[in-house]
Amino acid sequence: AQLDKCGGKLIGFVQNAALMSSGALELKPVDEIKAQFDTNVFGSVRVLQKILPLLRQSPGRARVILVGSTASY
């Protein structure tokens, strides 16, 4: 991580990203639903896996905030 290379401390992280797909579920291709799930769920997991080691090294209590929307799930 660039932050780690420069010696900085990470005290918090806010993630606000999602992929939305609208329309009738029965008309959606499964690949489109999988892509949405991959972005909205596994995307958050991937980001957290990268930043948690930095947050654990931070002084005090670091914070993680994941922003979601019912419109994106």
Share of residues in the chain with pLDDT > 90 (%): 14
Long-range contacts of 42-45 (CB under 8 A, 24+ apart): 43/17, 44/15
Has residue 70 got a pLDDT over 70? no
Average pLDDT over residues 33-61: 86
Residue 63's pLDDT is: 84
Band of residue 3 on the pLDDT scale cut at 50, 70, 90? low
What is the total residue count of the chain? 73
Average pLDDT over residues 8-21: 77
